[in-house]
Every structure is written in structure tokens, then in C-alpha cells.
Amino acid sequence: MKHKLRLVIGVHGVARPAFGILCSLAVLTALCGETSAAVASEGPNRSDAPFAIPTFHCVGLYWSPPGGAADRQVLVRYRRHGESEWKEGLPMRYNPIPKTDEDLTDYRGSIVHLAPATTYDVQLTLAGTTTTTNLAATTWSEAFPAGETIRVTDRNEPLAITESGTPKAWRVYDGRGATLDVRHQHDACITLNASYVIVRGFTLKGAGATNVPPSRTIGAIRIDGGHDIVIEDCDISGWGRLNPPTGFGVDYDAAIYSRSSTLKRLIVQRSKLHHPAYDGSNWYEPKYPTHSAGPQCITLVNTAGNHVIRYNECWSDLEHMYNDGIGGGSNGSFQGSPGPDSDIYGNVVSHCWDDGLEVEGSSRNVRVWDNYIAQCLMMIGNAPASIGPLYIWRNVVARSQSQPNAGGGNFLKMGFANSADWMTGHMYIFHNTVFQSDEWLPTGGLGASRIVKHTVSRNNILHVRSPQNWSASENKQNTENDFDYDLFNGRVPQGQEAHGICGEPIYASGAGFDEAAGVGRFQLTPSSPGAGAGQPIPNFSDGFTGNAPDIGAHQRGARPIQYGVRASQR
């Protein structure tokens, strides 16, 4: 059912917060390949039957119930199978996307903060009707059944992985203690075209042959095809090539790279991606004043999605900067990066002349949380979300930097690529913190002067450089936004932030990011503006005491946040 009706956001004055999620049957048992109803979710499906696409900690939800409409949400409840107590999920909003079947259903959404390898009962109800259904969904297991293990030793030739494992016996390539340094004589250190494969513990250096033309992008690990792939505990550096006409590194050369349209369920975890071979350009280079260009840590272009990128550390220095940290393309499309039904969490990302995280294109059930992002121009690029919903919550960003000795970007890029017609998906921005670690605050919060559409913002610290800057965009083309319960020091659009607080946060003693330990502390003091002043958001504000959560990413009383290779879910 694909009826184009007016979207209604309305949140104020209702007993039940008006946000959106949905779920359905998906008993996809981990990444171990046991088939189930979730298999139907691997391609477009316009039936009324609901389905789900899980990851370790989330479930993406899809349903087209009869009678769906813009003024009717789908209400969501969930519980662990066998338990009696239901929890409330974020309701799902009606949002069929014209001119594509890649939206899959009229209602889409996510349940988050779930336990791995756990089955959940889900109850869905079309608001204002008797239409309801009960479903089950099982999250992925973090235990991958190992089959044959291939030990790899030091080498200076690429390793080609073409033999697949099976769902019950993953093929493990164990590179612990081994260094693969191809010394810029080859495009890649590892090429991969196989499924049910684990690449573990490699040190990779020197990818990118000097005689390869810049028109062909390279990756230290280049994935040409396959599915169900784990890359973990690797250390990758020194990749990329020089682009002589510009004097900078070749755009999109990456530590991990794929443009395979069939690649799905890629997991990149607990790896260190750092110090490419060449520097990237910023937007203001005197001899090359154009869009930033250069190497990236992870580049995914129009893959099939359902990926997880977690607990990685992506950093460098001012002489070896990135274009984007984690990103790809195509932005103005119903595809994009990282691909649908994907999670990015627990990462440290820095040293980017453009976006720290680029989550653009379809953004269909893409979830971004618990990342620490610093020393970038735009902290998170989200221009556009063509299908959605895109969820961005509990991230901390610091030091917005557009040039070596200047700052100035946005917390969220917002806007569009190529055309504003792509701005048709919903976005939810919850409990993020723009942290003032030094003088390098961003000049804009939610888009600054850029167009913002179909966005709900709650409980964010939107601390910008000057009270004259925009904490949230007031572009005249903004459409159907709902900003409220944020703490902001800049300007906000007229009619928004009815319960927001104008002021600056006061952090507890010792606040900040300990880079050596990978630990962040960003809690407010009890007397700070925003303390206990947020709006409870079902499934996203768990863990607070009292009547309301704190505004910002780090709730008082919660343990310090661990990022990077030593992190785990809170």
C-alpha cells in the first residue's frame, strides 16, 4: 500500500510520545545462516505481512497494515520471549516513498538496545484501530562457529580469499602476529570474494600501487563480493596513493573498501585504522579550493547493507588527514552508505576534512550511537535520508575543524545531495552532546543554514560557537520538523523548542575524553541547565532515575563511556 498522504509529526500535548517503530517476524539466528522468515527481507517486499531484519543489538521493523495513513502510527511493545513485562518501543510513522520499492513497506522503524542471541516477542498495533499482530524476532549471536582455520605468516604479496565457509563452520584467516606489507606494489593487502569468512588479527601496510590510475579506488582490504564477513582485531595503516594533479591522496582510497552491490552482513570490529600514506585536502586549499578529497578509513558504495561497524579506532594526524572517516555513496539516491539496516556504534573517529561519519542515501533503518567524533568539519553527514528512518543518538562530538588553524562546521550536516527531492525519509536525533573541549565548537548544530526536513530532535546539547550561530536551522524550506527539549546556546527556529532550554551546559569535574584509555565522561552537574530536564523517549532514554532523563549523551549515575577497541555495550 503506497498512498502519498500528508505527514503529521505532532508531539506536544499527547500522553504518548509521537515517535515511530514497527516490528515483525524474524528469527534469523545470529549470522550462523539458519533460514527463517527473515529471508523475505533480503529484497523488496510490498506484502502486508510484517517482517524484521536484526543485528546484534537492534531489530529493523517493516509493515504495511491495511488502513495505514499519515495520521496513524503503529504502536510497538516488546519483551524477551518468556518474560511477562512488556516495554514500550518508539511508535512507527507512516512514510511510503514514491518512485521506489526499496522502502519495502509503508511503516519502518527500529527497536534498539537489545541483547544478542535473544528472541523477543513484539506486539504491533495500528493506532485507532483493532488491527494488531504478535511477532517474534531474534538478534544475532556474537559467537561465530569456527570451521577450518588458516594461519597466515608475514608476506609482501596480497592474500586472496576466495574460498567460503558455511553457516555452521566459518572459515577463519588468522593473521595474529603477521604483517602483510605490499610496499605499494599492489592495490590491496587482502582481496576478498567469499562468504562466512573471518579475517582476524592482521597488520596491513602499504596498499595502493603507485602505477594504478586514480580513477580506480583501492582498499587495503578490498571486498569484491560475498556476504557474512567479519573483519576484526586488525591494524591497518599506510594505504593509499598520491594524485599528482592535486598533490593529495586519491579520493576514497580506504583501509576497507567495497562497492559490491551484493555485499551484506559485513562486520568490522575492534580494529585500528590509522595514518594513510598521503594527506587529504580540505575545502580551502589555496591551490585546490574545492570539495575535500582524500583517503578514508572505510568506504562502502551502494552495498546491500545490514552491516555492523563497531568498536573501531579511526585516527591520524594533521599531515595525513581523511576526507570522510567512515562513508561512501551514493548520497542522492535510494542506496548510499553504509547501506540499509546497518549499525555504527562504539567507534572513535577523528582527523577528517569533511564528515566523521557519512550516513547518507537511503538511511533505511540506519542506527548511529555511542560514537566519539572529533577534529572533523561535519561531525555526522546525513544529507539526505531518502527512505529512513535514520536514528542518531548518544553520540559525543568535539572540535569542529575546517582548516588547520580554524574551525567551523556542523554537528549534523543535514541538507541534501543533488536535489532536495531526495529529502523524503524521517530522522530521529536523541540525546547527543556537542562537547566544548576547547575553543573549537561547531558553528552550527542541526544543519545551521541548511535545509532540514522530517526530523525529530529531543534531549540534545546543541552547544555552538556563538549565540549568533544557529543551534537548529531556520531555513525557509524546512519542512515538518519537531525540535524540543534540547539545551542550546544559539538561535533556534521560531515556534520550535517550546520546552527547550537556552543556556550552556556545566559538566562534572574531570569531564572529557581520555584518549589513552578510550574513556569518556560527559555528565552534567546536578545544577547544570539540562540536568533532569529531558523528555523520556521510549527505548532510547532508559537508565535514568527520577521523573525525566538528563539532556545530553551521558546520564548522571551511568558508568563512564568506553569507546574503541576496548568498548562494550552499556
Encode pLDDT of 82-114 as tens digits: 999 999 999 999 999 999 999 999 999 999 999
321-354 pLDDT, tens digit per residue, is 999 999 999 999 999 999 999 999 999 999 999 9
For 517-553, the DSSP string reads TTEEE-PBPTTSTTTT-S---TTTSTT--SSSPPSSS
Secondary-structure class of domain 37-138 per CATH: mainly beta
* Average pLDDT, integer, range 372-393: 97
> Mean pLDDT score of the chain, rounded to an integer?
91
At 2 the pLDDT is 41
**Around Cβ 295, how many Cβ atoms within 10 Å?**
32
Give the start-to-end residue ranges of the domains of the chain: 37-138, 146-323, 355-570
Give the strand pairing for 119-126 and 74-80: antiparallel
**Of the ranges 27-36, 223-232, 269-278, 484-493, which one carries the lowest mean pLDDT score?**
27-36
* Average pLDDT, integer, range 17-25: 32
295/293 Cα distance (integer angstroms): 7
For 125-184, the DSSP string reads EETTSS-EEEEEEEPPPS---EEEEEE---BSSPEEE----BTTBEEEEE-TT-EEE-TT
* Average pLDDT, integer, range 533-556: 97
At 34 the pLDDT is 31
Kindly tell me if the per-residue pLDDT of 31 is higher than 70. Answer: no
At 38 the pLDDT is 32
Q: How far is CA 355 from the centre of its chain?
A: 12
* Average pLDDT, integer, range 41-69: 83
Give the strand pairing for 227-232 and 197-200: parallel
505/463 Cα distance (integer angstroms): 8
At 121 the pLDDT is 97
pTM: 0.93
Please state, for a pLDDT cut of 70, what percent of the chain lies above it. 92
Q: Half-sphere exposure of residue 132, counting CA atoms within 13 Å on the CB side? A: 11
Kindly tell me if the per-residue pLDDT of 498 is higher than 70. Answer: yes
> Could you give the angle at the alpha carbon of 61 between the alpha carbons of 60 and 67, nearest 5°?
160
Q: Which CATH architecture has domain 146-323?
A: 3 Solenoid (2.160)
At 324 the pLDDT is 98
At 375 the pLDDT is 95
115-142 pLDDT, tens digit per residue, is 999 999 999 999 999 999 999 999 999 9
* Average pLDDT, integer, range 203-210: 96
pLDDT band at 47 (very low <50, low <70, confident <90, very high): low
pLDDT band at 163 (very low <50, low <70, confident <90, very high): very high
DSSP state of 58: -
